[in-house]
Chains A and B, each alone.
Chain A
């Protein structure tokens, strides 16, 4: 049995633990439905909408994993920045007439399904068989401790990631400007 926190008996539905579990099931369904829309929708705008739904579900899952800060960052960065940028790119670069977003050929749909199924089942079987041991926690993982880690143990990575972001922004501007006529 892999690590799980101690709730011994099954909670009733209308207790605090039961309602928490119900909300978790709903959020898991939201994540999966959003992902399904994102990867199967015919039109790109619907794909982005599904991606937003999926990311909101993932943010809720982060709440259940004791990380409210990362959950808020997920909504702020992914939903607020990445998805909106993708929506702008769709408006700029994807004319909605002559658009078919479905499978590229008669066989590509089933073959892609088989490939993704093999990958998924392989990962699930691997997770089922593996044994993970839980180690005692050395701190609580609060926002304050994240900040201390960022500026002590991971300060080099922190600086590097800001340089990467700066170069990415400049590079994006240069690439998008090249070849513009006016």
Chain B
């Protein structure tokens, strides 16, 4: 088992996706602005896409299914980014801030 044949191994991609997912979770918890949380959620979506593509390459009988799913994930992520950013801009217009600590109007 050489380091140079890692790209032929399913587990490499699964570990990489797990680490990216963990980074996304860390970023969502620690970021203080809504835009930072959106960026971290993009990392989580990328991790999910890598998992789809890895299983598509190594185990699935039909190698188009995972690619189709990943393309759908991309479309959903684009829609999510558009909606999320417009919400962020609307919030900024009302509160003059996108810091999560300032958005406490529903805080009972």
Given A3-B59, A21-B5, residue A176 in contact with residue B86 (CB < 8 A): yes
Query: In the complex, which residue of chain A has the Cβ closest to the Cβ of B72?
Result: A161
Given A86-B81, A132-B59, residue A4 in contact with residue B9 (CB < 8 A): yes
Give the interface size class of chain A: 35 or more
Query: In the complex, which residue of chain A has the Cβ closest to the Cβ of B91?
Result: A93
Given A81-B78, A82-B78, A157-B72, residue A120 in contact with residue B9 (CB < 8 A): no
Tell me the bound Cα distance from A161 to B22 in angstroms: 28
Given A2-B11, A89-B89, A161-B76, residue A104 in contact with residue B32 (CB < 8 A): yes
- On chain B, the residues within 8 Å of A182 by CB distance are none
The number of chain B residues with a CB under 8 A from chain A is 83
A-B contact pairs, 12 of them (CB 8 A): A35-B23, A61-B50, A70-B67, A70-B70, A81-B78, A82-B78, A89-B88, A94-B92, A112-B30, A123-B22, A141-B63, A149-B68
Determine if B20 and A31 form an interchain contact, defined as CB atoms under 8 angstroms apart: yes
Closest 4 CB pairs of A and B: A21-B4, A141-B63, A39-B27, A120-B22
- Known pairs A66-B57, A93-B91, A161-B72; list 16 more (Cβ under 8 Å): A4-B58, A21-B4, A31-B16, A61-B50, A61-B53, A70-B53, A88-B85, A100-B32, A102-B30, A102-B32, A112-B29, A132-B55, A132-B58, A136-B61, A168-B80, A179-B90
Determine if A58 and B46 form an interchain contact, defined as CB atoms under 8 angstroms apart: yes
Q: Give min CB distance, A10 to chain B, whole Å.
A: 3
Q: Give min CB distance, B60 to chain A, whole Å.
A: 7
Tell me the bound Cα distance from A165 to B75 in angstroms: 7
Tell me the bound Cα distance from A152 to B23 in angstroms: 37
Query: In the complex, which residue of chain B has the Cβ closest to the Cβ of A149?
Result: B64
Residues of A at the B interface (CB closer than 8 Å) are 2-5, 7, 10-11, 13, 17-18, 20-22, 24-25, 28, 31-32, 35-36, 38-40, 44, 47-48, 51, 54-55, 58, 61-62, 64-67, 69-70, 73-74, 77-78, 81-82, 85-86, 88-90, 92-94, 99-104, 108-109, 111-113, 115-117, 119-120, 123-124, 127-128, 132-141, 145-146, 149-150, 154, 157, 161, 164-165, 168-169, 171-173, 175-176, 178-180
Residues of B at the A interface (CB closer than 8 Å) are 1-27, 29-33, 35-36, 38-40, 42-43, 46, 49-50, 53-65, 67-68, 70-72, 74-83, 85-94, 98, 100-101
Tell me the bound Cα distance from A2 to B11 in angstroms: 7
- On chain B, the residues within 8 Å of A66 by CB distance are 57, 63
Q: Secondary structure at chain A's binding surface: helix, strand, loop or mixed?
A: helix
Query: In the complex, which residue of chain A has the Cβ closest to the Cβ of B5?
Result: A7
